[in-house]
Structure 1
Amino acid sequence: MNNYLRLLPVAVACTVSAATAAELEEILVTAEFRPTSLLQQPTSTSVVTQEDIRQRAAQHLEDILNLAPNVNFAGGTSRARFFQIRGIGERSQYQEPLNASIGLIVDGVDFSGLGTAGTLFDVEQVEVLRGPQGTLHGANALAGLINVRTAAPENEPALAVEGTLGNYNTWSTGIVGTGPLVKDSLLYRVAVQEYRSDGYIENDYLSRDDTNRRDETSVRGKLRWLTSDSATLDITAFYLDADNGFDAFSLDNTRHTLSDQPGHDRQESTALALDWQQSLNAFDLEATLTLAASDTEYSYDEDWSFVGIAPGWEYSSFDQYLRDRDSSSAQLRLLSNDSSRLLGGRSDWVAGVYYLGDREDLHRRYTYLDGDFYSRYDTDTYAAFGQMDTRLAENLSLLTGLRVERRNTDYSDSNAVASDPGKTLWGGRVTLEYTVSDGHMLYGGLSRGYRANGVNAGILASMEAFEDPAIITQLERVQTFDEESLLNYEVGYKGLLLDGSMSLRLAAFYMDRRDQQVKGSLVIQREDNSTTFLDHVSNAAEGTNYGLELEMDWRATESLSLYTHLGLLETEFKDYVNASGTDLSGREQAHAPGYQYAAGARYDLGGGFYARLDLEGKDDFYFSDRHDLQAPAFDLLHLRLGYASGNWSVALWGRNLTDEDYFVRGFGSFGNDPRKEYVTEPYLQYGEPRTFGVYGRYSF
C-alpha cells in the first residue's frame, strides 16, 4: 500500500481548524489499584473503548490489539491465545507447562495463557498496560497486562439485540438486557452471543471449507448489590464455549490444506467472580474472590496430509493435548481515604495480600507415544504488596510500590518425572510525576518485573530415549531454567492540547532483561524421515528492548475524529547461544516488529450517516528464536459505512479490503512434504483475508 496513505489521517488533521473542535471524553483505567484517568496515569497504556470495538466489527482481542503500539500476537491456534508486549511474550504451548509473561484478566478472573477467552461481546473497554506490572499483578505480567472489563449493570431498564452477516458464512447474534431487580439497590445485566464462521481455509482432500471454523458461544451474567451508601457487592458469572477447528497449515503454503485428520482448538470455561467494596472510617476495603475452570483441546494433523500422498516417503501422525485448568484467587486490599492519608495528608496508600492457585492436568495422545502421556502441574502463589503515592510538592508526586511473591510449584507426569521448584520473587516501581500545568504531565520511572523459574519436563523425560552423544549434550543444556528479571526505564508525556480536543501520549522506554527466558525447540529426525520436536525454555544471558510509543486522538470538529498510534521497537539478544549451538547474540528477538502503526478517521456525514477508515501495519519480524524465517511487513485497510438514529444502528463493514496476504505464524527449520522428500522449507499460517458484512443493532 502506498506509504502516503499511512499519513492520511495526520495530513487531514493538519488542515482542520481547531476552532470548531469538541473536547474529548475522559477515559478511566480500571486495572490500577484505584480507577485512574488515562491522562493522569504515569505509565504507557492503551484503552480500546466499546465504540472502537463495534466500529471495527471486532469479535476477539486479535481484532483490536493492532490499535495498541508495540503489541503483537501469535497464531498457531484458531484464535490469538498468546500475546507479546514490547517484544516479550509466549508464542505457543504444547506439552510443557506455561509461565505467562503477559497477564490476561477478564472481569477480575485470570485467564493468562488462555487467550481464546478474549471475546468482545458487551465489553466496555480493553486496557493494555505496557511494561512490567510487578507491583500490580506479579509473575504473570512480566511485560504487561491486558485487562478486559465488560459493561456493568444499569439502574434503568434496557434491552438490545444485534447481529452480523458476513462472507465465509459468518454470522453472529447477541442480546443484552439490564436494569433493576430492586430499584436503586439490586441491578442485573445479562449478555448472550452466538458467533459462527466457516473460517478461511479450504480442505481439498476432504472437500470441506469449515475445517478451520469458529463456533463460539459466550454467556455472562452480572449482579450489582448496593447494600448501603458505603458498600457494593458485584457478582459476575461467565461461560464460554469455543468449539473451533484447527487446520491452518498447508504443504503448498496456500489457504488450501490436504489434512485427513483436521484438528481442534477448543476451550470451555466457566468462571465466577465476587468483588466487595466497603468504605470505612479508617480506610476503604476491597475483597475479591474468583473461581474458574477451563477444559481445552488443542489437536492437529501433524503430517498436514493424507495417506497415499507419497507412498514410500509419507508418515501419518496426529497430536492431541487435552488440558484442564482449575484456578482460584483471593485478594484483600486496604486503601487510604480522607481520614487515613499519611505524611500530613500528602500520601495515599494501598496495602494488600493475594493468593492464586492453579491446578492443571494434561492428557496427551500422540501417534509416536507408546502410551498416553499424563501430567499434573500445581502452582500456589502467595503475595503481599503495597503502594504509596506521595505529593512532594504542589506539582511533583512520587509513586513507590513493592510486591513480594512466593511461588510454589509441583510437577509430576507419567514418565516418572517429578519436580517441585519454589522461589521467592519480587517486583516494584519508583515513578516521579510532574504536572507542568492543567492537562500536561511528565513522568519518569523505574519498574521491575519477574518471571518464575522451572524445569523442562519433556527434556528430562527424553534423556534415556537417545544414544547419540551429540543429542544428549543438547538435552543436558536445557534440563532446567532460571527465573527472569526485567528492569524497565521509562519517561513520558501526557496532555490535552487544542482546548482539550486533542489527547497526546508519548513514552520512551528501555528494558533490561536478565537471565532472559527463551522458548526453543530441538528438531530431531526420526528413522522414518519424520521430525520430532522437543520444546523447552532456556535462558539467554541478557536482552534489551527499547523504543517509543505515540498515541494521538483528536476530536477535530463535531463531525471529524482522527487518531494516530505508533510504536517503534528495537530488540537484541546478548551473549545467547541456543540449544543447537547457534550464537544469536546481536539478533532481534522474535515477534518484535520494528514498527507498528494504526491510524484512522471517522466523519459524521449528517442525518445519522457516518464513515470510518482505519489503516494499520507492522514491520517484518522473526517468527521464532530458533530459525530465520520472518513475517513480511504488511498494511491493512478497514472501512465502515453506517447509519445511527434513535434506537437503530446499521452498518456495512469490511476488513483487509485490499485482501493483502499476511502471516501470523511460521516454521522454518524442518521439512514436512513427502512429495519433496522432506526438504527444509518455510511454512506459514495466513492472517485474516478480506472480510465484509452487514451489522445491525436495535435498542428497546
Structure 2
Amino acid sequence: MKAWIIGTSRIAITTAALMASQTAIAQDDPQGAATTPETGGIAEIVVTAQKRAENLQDVPISITAVSGEALANSQGTSLQALQGQIPNVQIDNFANTPQSAVFTVRGIGVIEPDPYAGNTVSIVVDGVPQFFSMGALLDLYDVDRIEVLRGPQGTLFGANTTGGVINVVTKQPTGEFGGQLKGVYGNYNRFDVTGSIEAPLVKDVLSLKVAGIHTQRKGWVTNVVDGSDMGSKSLDAVRAYLRFTPSSDFDATLQGEYVRARNGSPIIVNGARPGEALYVPPGTQGMYVSPCAGTGSCEAPDKYFSANNTVPDESNMDTYSGTLTMNWRNTALGDLTSITGYKHFKLREFTDQDGTPLFLNDTYRRTTGWQFSQELRTNIALTDTLDLIAGGFYLKDSYSHIQAYRLQFAAPGLLQTNLQDQDNYSVSGFAQAYWKATDKLKLQAGIRYSHERTVSTPSLITSIGNPLGSNYTGEGNLVIGSFTTGGRKSWNNIGWKVGADYEIVDDTLLYASWARGFKSGGFTARVGVPADGANPFNPEKVDTFEAGVKTDLLDRHLRINLAAFYTNYRDMQVAQIYFDRDTNTQGNRILNAGKSEIKGFELEATAVPVTGMTLRGSLAYLDAKYKEFLYNDPLSGQTIDLRGYRLQNAPKWNATVGANFVVPLGNGADLVADVNYTYTASKYYTAILDTPRSRIQPTHLVDGTLTYRPDGAAWSIGLWGTNLLDSRYLSTVYDSPGYAGLAGYAPPRQYGVSASVNF
C-alpha cells in the first residue's frame, strides 16, 4: 500500500491500506509500498496523539492512523467511510437523523441524536474539539491524517472522551506553490471534484492556501409513492488558510471553513411487524414489504424501497467555522501553543416518520448551535529526562432546537412541538509528565480537573389544527397542553492516567496504563413528560486498564501491534424512549445504568514480504455487557435484570484483511491493485433489551481499486469499487417500544472511475 509524506505531489494508490495496518505516513517510495528507502521495510509513522509529534510505535496507546490519501482513494467523503475498517470502532448515523453521528469505541458510545446527550467519543479537528454530534460525520477533503485513539483520553483531551478520540488533522500550508485536482464519477450519478492550491504571498513569511470539495449523488432507495430516488446528497465546502511565519520561533495559522449541504430528507424504512402499530400489510397500494415483517431479526431486501408523501425532500445544513493556531518555541515557559476555535451551524430537515404512502406521522427539525473554545498549553523539558505538558481549556456552547411531531394517526391535526434551549460551559486544567527513568523504561502520569455547567429549559406544546398546513411551529393552532421544565446543574471531576512503557529490545515496546475517564451529566431536553426534563442524569465514569506490545520485526518488514484492555464502566448513561401510560405521551430520558464490564483486544499487523507487495490485517474482540442494571420496562411494567445483556453497537468480532500489489509495466509505469475485506459480527442497535428486531446481522464487505500511474508523471487514473459483492444489509434499526421499528439500509455496490493531477 502507498501513502505519501506531507507536502508531496505524488498520489496515494490504495483504498484501505493504512486503515488496518496503521501505515499512515510513509516515505515517497516509487515502488508503491509503504517502505523505508534504506531497508524496503515499513516506514515510520508520525502522530500527535499525545499533543506532540512522535513515532506511532513509541506511543503507549492503542491507536490506528489513517492517511488522508488512503481515505480519498477509498472514495470516502466523510468519516463514515471508516466504518468497519478500524478495530473495535463503529461509525454510523441514526436512521431518522442522518446528520447526527454515532461513534462507538470499545462499546462506549451515545445512542441519542440530540445535543443534550453529549458525546463519549470526541471528534477533534486541528486541535478543536467538536461538541455537537450534528455534523460530526465530517466531510473529509484535503486531510493529512486521522488518528483514532481507543480508550479514555481525558487528561489531554478533556471530559467526554470515555470511549476515545478521533483526531483529524488537515493538510496545513507548506509555504510552497502547488496544488492538486481530483475528479470521481460513479453509479447513482455520483460526481466529485476536490482540489487545493497554495500560493506564497511573501516568501518564507506568508502563504495562502485554499481547498474545496463538491460531491453529489442520487439516493439508492426508491420512493414507492412516485418512483423518485431517496437519500440524495449534494455538498459543497471550502477551507482557506493563511499561514504567517515571521521567524523560526513563531508561527500562526488562521483557517476558516464553510460547508453547505443540500441533501434529501432522512429515509425511514418502516420496520413494523404484523399486528403492530402503523403496520401496513403487504399488498396495500403503493406499499413495500417491511424488512422486519417476520418474527426474527430484520433482513435487507434485494431492492431498497421506502415512502415519503407528506414532507419536503429536504435536509439542509450550513456550517461556518474558524481556527487560529499560534506556536511560540523556545520560550522561558517551553514551547507554547494557543488554539482558538469557533463554529456555528444551522440544520433544517423534514422526515416522513412512518415511511409509508399513508399520512400517519412526520417531523420537522430545526437546530441552531455554536461553540467557542480556547486552549493554551506548554510542552517543556524540565530536565534531560523529565518532560511536561500542561495547560488550560475553556469551552462554551449553546443551541436551540425545535422538533415538531405531527401525529395524524392519533388525531387529525395533532402536533407536538418540542423546544430545546441549552447552554453549556466547561473549564479545565491539565498536566501530564513523562519521565525517562532509564534508557529503556519510561513512566508517565497525568491529571485533569474539570468544572462543567449546564443550563436547560426544554418545553412541549401540544396543539391541534390544520393537518395539511405547512406551519410546523403550531402557531395559529388550538393549544391543548403545554409545559416548560429544565434546570441548572454543575459537575466537578478529577481524572487521571498513569502508565509505563519498556523497550525490551530494539523496535519492541511493552506498555501498560490505567486511565480514568469522565462524561458529565445533563438534562433531557426532548421532553414528553415533565419529570424527564426536570431531573438531571448523573455523570458516568470509566476506568480502563490496558496493556500492549508494539514491535517491528525482520528489519522492519513485519509490524505487529497488540493491545488488551479491561474497562469498569459505572453509571453508564443510556438513552430510553418509552410510552407513558398516564399521559398517553412518548417520553424520553437518559438512564444511569449501574455498571458495565468491557474487555477485549485489538491486533493489527502489516507485512512487506517483497518489494511491491504489502499485506495487512486486523482482528478485534469485544465482550461488552451490563454487570448491574435493574431496568424498569415501561412497556411491560416489569423490572428486568439486564446483567449479562450486551451493550448496544458493540459487535463481538471485527476483522480486516487486505493486500496491495505494485506491478511494473515497463518504461517506469506502474499498475497498482488493492483489495480489502472487512467483517463485522452481529450487534444490537438502539434497543436496551437487545430485541431481535434491533439486531444487525454480520456484514462482509469487499472493496478494491486498480490504478495506473506513469513513472514521474503528476497524474493517475483508476477504477474503484466498494461493496463489490453487492451484499445488502441494514445499517441501523431502532426498535421503538409499542411502535413500528425504524430501519435504515447500508450502501449497495458502488463503482466508478477517478483521475488526479498534481502541480
- Pairwise CA distance, 1:525: 7.7
Matched-pair contact (CA < 8 Å) for 1:116–1:267: no
Matched-pair contact (CA < 8 Å) for 1:521–1:626: no
Q: Determine which of 399, 404, 416 is the counterpart of 2:484.
A: 416
Are 2:151 and 1:147 equivalent residues in the alignment?
no
TM-score of the superposition, structure 1-length normalised?
Answer: 0.88
Opposite residue 270 of structure 1, the aligned amino acid is Y
Are 2:751 and 1:684 equivalent residues in the alignment?
no
| RMSD between aligned residues | 2.4
Q: Which secondary structure state, in structure 2, belongs to the residue aligned with residue 136 of structure 1?
A: helix
Opposite residue 338 of structure 2, the aligned amino acid is A
Q: Which secondary structure state, in structure 1, belongs to the residue aligned with residue 264 of structure 2?
A: strand
Q: 2-side partners of 1:524 and 1:638: how far apart?
A: 46
Deviates more, 1:182-191 or 1:610-619: 182-191
Are 2:313 and 1:257 equivalent residues in the alignment?
no
Matched-pair contact (CA < 8 Å) for 1:391–1:398: yes
Opposite residue 306 of structure 1, the aligned amino acid is P
Q: 1-side partners of 2:91 and 2:117: how far apart?
A: 16
Where does 1:365-444 land on structure 2 (aligned, <5 Å)? 365-368=404-407, 372-414=417-459, 415-444=483-512
Q: Determine which of 84, 88, 106 is the counterpart of 2:108.
A: 88
Q: 2-side partners of 1:57 and 1:258: how far apart?
A: 29
Q: 2-side partners of 1:370 and 1:157: how far apart?
A: 57
Percent identity of equivalent pairs = 26
Matched-pair contact (CA < 8 Å) for 1:406–1:423: yes
- Pairwise CA distance, 1:417: 1.1
Q: 1-side partners of 2:330 and 2:632: how far apart?
A: 56
Matched-pair contact (CA < 8 Å) for 2:72–2:141: no
Can you list the C-alpha shifts for 1:550-575, whole angstroms capped at 9, x where unaligned? 11122332211111122110011022
Find the counterpart in structure 2 of residue 558 from structure 1. Answer: 611
Q: 1-side partners of 2:606 and 2:405: how far apart?
A: 50
Distance 1:264 1:235, change over 3 A: same
Are 2:288 and 1:243 equivalent residues in the alignment?
no
Matched-pair contact (CA < 8 Å) for 2:598–2:625: yes
Matched-pair contact (CA < 8 Å) for 1:480–1:538: no
Distance 1:525 1:48, change over 3 A: farther
- Pairwise CA distance, 1:173: 0.9
Distance 1:683 1:303, change over 3 A: closer
- Pairwise CA distance, 1:19: 14
Opposite residue 517 of structure 1, the aligned amino acid is Q
Find the counterpart in structure 2 of residue 50 from structure 1. Answer: 68
Q: 1-side partners of 2:458 and 2:388: how far apart?
A: 44
Opposite residue 235 of structure 2, the aligned amino acid is E
- Pairwise CA distance, 1:302: 1.4
Q: 2-side partners of 1:445 and 1:511: how far apart?
A: 12
Can you list the C-alpha shifts for 1:262-298, whole angstroms capped at 9, x where unaligned? 5544331111101110013421111111111011234
Q: 1-side partners of 2:539 and 2:349: how far apart?
A: 27
Q: Determine which of 55, 80, 84 is the counterpart of 1:37.
A: 55
Distance 1:134 1:304, change over 3 A: same
- Pairwise CA distance, 1:138: 1.6
- Pairwise CA distance, 1:80: 6.5
Q: Determine which of 348, 358, 362 is the counterpart of 2:401.
A: 362
Where structure 1 has 5 or more consecutive residues not aligned to the other structure, the ranges are: 1-8, 11-17, 308-314, 465-474, 673-679
Are 2:325 and 1:272 equivalent residues in the alignment?
no
Are 2:692 and 1:636 equivalent residues in the alignment?
no
- Pairwise CA distance, 1:179: 3.5
Opposite residue 444 of structure 1, the aligned amino acid is A
Q: Determine which of 372, 375, 379 is the counterpart of 1:335.
A: 379
Opposite residue 624 of structure 1, the aligned amino acid is T
Find the counterpart in structure 2 of residue 28 from structure 1. Answer: 46
Are 2:384 and 1:350 equivalent residues in the alignment?
no
Are 2:218 and 1:198 equivalent residues in the alignment?
yes
Matched-pair contact (CA < 8 Å) for 1:515–1:542: yes
Matched-pair contact (CA < 8 Å) for 1:235–1:274: yes
Where does 1:213-232 land on structure 2 (aligned, <5 Å)? 213-232=232-251
- Pairwise CA distance, 1:97: 1.2
Find the counterpart in structure 2 of residue 472 from structure 1. Answer: none
Are 2:716 and 1:649 equivalent residues in the alignment?
yes
Find the counterpart in structure 1 of residue 663 from structure 2. Answer: 605
Can you list the C-alpha shifts for 1:12-49, whole angstroms capped at 9, x where unaligned? xxxxxx99971222212224221221111101001011
Q: Determine which of 581, 592, 614 is the counterpart of 1:539.
A: 592
Q: 1-side partners of 2:38 and 2:452: how far apart?
A: 56
- Pairwise CA distance, 1:695: 0.6
- In the alignment of these two chains, the number of paired residues is 648
Find the counterpart in structure 2 of residue 15 from structure 1. Answer: none
- Pairwise CA distance, 1:424: 0.4
Q: 1-side partners of 2:603 and 2:53: how far apart?
A: 23
Where does 1:279-298 land on structure 2 (aligned, <5 Å)? 279-282=329-332, 283-298=334-349
- Pairwise CA distance, 1:484: 0.5
Are 2:289 and 1:233 equivalent residues in the alignment?
no
- Pairwise CA distance, 1:72: 0.4
Are 2:643 and 1:624 equivalent residues in the alignment?
no
Are 2:150 and 1:106 equivalent residues in the alignment?
no
- Pairwise CA distance, 1:299: 3.3
Q: Which secondary structure state, in structure 1, belongs to the residue aligned with residue 108 of structure 2?
A: coil
Can you list the C-alpha shifts for 1:315-340, whole angstroms capped at 9, x where unaligned? 52221221111100011112114xxx
Distance 1:325 1:666, change over 3 A: same
- Pairwise CA distance, 1:669: 4.1
Find the counterpart in structure 1 of residue 628 from structure 2. Answer: 575
Are 2:144 and 1:124 equivalent residues in the alignment?
yes
Are 2:658 and 1:658 equivalent residues in the alignment?
no
Matched-pair contact (CA < 8 Å) for 2:113–2:134: no
Q: 1-side partners of 2:38 and 2:642: how far apart?
A: 54
Q: 2-side partners of 1:267 and 1:425: how far apart?
A: 35
Q: Which secondary structure state, in structure 2, belongs to the residue aligned with residue 364 of structure 1?
A: strand
Distance 1:520 1:264, change over 3 A: farther
Matched-pair contact (CA < 8 Å) for 2:326–2:338: yes
Distance 1:281 1:80, change over 3 A: closer
- Pairwise CA distance, 1:524: 5.0
Q: 2-side partners of 1:583 and 1:361: how far apart?
A: 37
Opposite residue 99 of structure 1, the aligned amino acid is G
Q: 1-side partners of 2:586 and 2:722: how far apart?
A: 36
Q: Which secondary structure state, in structure 2, belongs to the residue aligned with residue 53 of structure 1?
A: helix
- Pairwise CA distance, 1:246: 3.1
Opposite residue 719 of structure 2, the aligned amino acid is L
